[in-house]
Amino acid sequence: MASPWKAARVRSATATIFAEMSALAVATNSVNLGQGFPDTDGPEFMLDEAMAAIASGINQYPPGKGIAPLRKAIADHCERRYGLNYDPDTEVLVTTGATEALAAAILAFVDPGDEVIALEPFYDSYAASIELAGGVRVGVGLFGPDFRLDLDEFGAAFSPRTKVLLINSPHNPTGVVLSYDELDEIARLAVANDVLVICDEVYEHLIFDGAKHLPLAAFPGMRNRTVRISSAGKTFSATGWKIGWALCTPELISEVTAVKQFLTYVSGAPFQPAVARALNEGDAWVETQRADLERKRDRLAEGLSDLGLTPSVPRGTYFMTTDVTPLGYADGVEFCRDLPTRCGVVAIPHQVFYDRVDAGRPYVRWAFCKQDHVLDEGIARLSKLRG
């Protein structure tokens, strides 16, 4: 029950569905295909670097904007991968995960009543951060079964109150990767309407079928109006380290930094040299991991198809979506609440990511960033649903 002292500003902030489902997974000894975290570690040299950092006394507050070698590694990585140049001293901020970069950017640029256009379904922290800022969410739907962006709807979402576009590609939970043409049109609209863009690219390296990640900041007119956000969590299988970053102009980065310093002040000291090393030396590891994930994606798609479901096979992220109607459920929340006791598997209902709940009602998200034997066990357990 909500406390009578709860602030109206955070009225919809409750325990996330991920916490609820992960707790249910532990309580029922279920295979957790719900929350998006891998069940294997990142590169060994990165783990060793963090342990060495702790042992050598790197345990006190690091610089607020992040240690210089990490800021340089982030800028170098961006240049090497995408040809985008950022000054490590003035245009890079290290944050406590992408989540803090998103929150700090939204709080820095959104005033009460400002509209923020975001792709709906939204990653859950977007809704909460926009609400904290007093902003108004304006969703542009990626609706099943194909979850394609409707550019006419996108264009029609702008109003004189639009201040920020919040774009996420590869997109959680749908796995959609926006195409060159879609990004080009988003960029055109951003420039024409003179809005700021916050671009969440945490899945930039989890991309399949030969697709290429295209940072929105690289499109014409976008470099100086885009806050480019990513993190080490997904790329290096270290979601618990919470090292993220934001890249943009010195003017924009100093506004985001001003907010960040009062959210967490600084971010995990011993993880920073380790992530710097991973960014500098981890390209081969990332590619192996990516290829492995693509194979896992196909393994899960096959298992879900065998159950009579039609998975939306993603081109990015580590999430796959199915409509669970063929299993006798019209409502994904009901399905996900029943699933652990019916067969010992946990998944996440799509509708929690939507304002327009009905659009997400029959869909469920499955994470495939798990060891093969875990995926196989999950699929074997799900086969009980066939009755």
Ligand X SMILES: Cc1ncc(COP(=O)(O)O)c(C=O)c1O
Q: List Cα–Cα distances, 364 to 134, 172, 317, 335, in angstroms.
A: 30, 12, 15, 8
201 CB-near residues (< 8 Å, 6+ apart) = 168, 169, 213, 215, 228, 229, 230
Among 34, 36, 303, 344, binds ligand X (CB under 6 A): 36
Among 22, 30, 70, 123, binds ligand X (CB under 6 A): 123
CB of 96 to ligand X, least distance (A): 7
* Interaction between residue 200 and ligand X (CB under 6 A): yes
Among 22, 32, 129, 168, binds ligand X (CB under 6 A): 168
* Interaction between residue 120 and ligand X (CB under 6 A): no
Q: How many residues does the chain have?
A: 387
287 CB-near residues (< 8 Å, 6+ apart) = none
CB of 52 to ligand X, least distance (A): 23
- 97-109 vs 250-263: helix axis angle to the nearest 10? 110
* Interaction between residue 121 and ligand X (CB under 6 A): no
* Interaction between residue 43 and ligand X (CB under 6 A): no
CB of 170 to ligand X, least distance (A): 8
* Interaction between residue 244 and ligand X (CB under 6 A): yes
308-327 residues near ligand X, rule: CB under 6 A:
none
CB of 353 to ligand X, least distance (A): 10
253-292 residues near ligand X, rule: CB under 6 A:
none
Identity (one letter) of the amino acid at 354? Y
Identity (one letter) of the amino acid at 176? V
Stretch in the footprint of ligand X (CB under 6 A) among 92-100, 127-135, 174-182, 294-302: 92-100
Stretch in the footprint of ligand X (CB under 6 A) among 4-12, 97-105, 107-115, 352-360: 97-105
* Interaction between residue 22 and ligand X (CB under 6 A): no
User: Cα–Cα distance between 116 and 297 in angstroms, integer?
Assistant: 32
Where would I find the beta strands (DSSP E) of 89-159? 92-96, 115-120, 136-141
* Interaction between residue 172 and ligand X (CB under 6 A): yes
Closest CB to ligand X among residues 102, 187: 102
User: Cα–Cα distance between 335 and 187 in angstroms, integer?
Assistant: 39
Stretch in the footprint of ligand X (CB under 6 A) among 82-90, 93-101, 187-195, 367-375: 93-101
* Interaction between residue 31 and ligand X (CB under 6 A): no
Size of the site for ligand X (CB under 6 A): 14
Closest CB to ligand X among residues 267, 322: 267
308 CB-near residues (< 8 Å, 6+ apart) = 326, 327, 386
Q: In the complex, which residue's CB is closest to ligand X?
A: 97
Q: List Cα–Cα distances, 249 to 44, 171, 217, 345, in angstroms.
A: 34, 25, 11, 45
209-238 residues near ligand X, rule: CB under 6 A:
231, 233
63, 65, 64, 62: which is closest to 91 by C-alpha?
Answer: 65
User: Cα–Cα distance between 127 and 146 in angstroms, integer?
Assistant: 23
Closest CB to ligand X among residues 98, 164: 98
* Interaction between residue 239 and ligand X (CB under 6 A): yes
Q: Are 83 and 287 in contact (CB under 8 A)?
A: no
User: Cα–Cα distance between 101 and 248 in angstroms, integer?
Assistant: 12
Which spans of this chain sit near ligand X (rule: CB under 6 A)? 36, 97-99, 123, 168, 172, 200, 202, 231, 233, 239, 242, 244
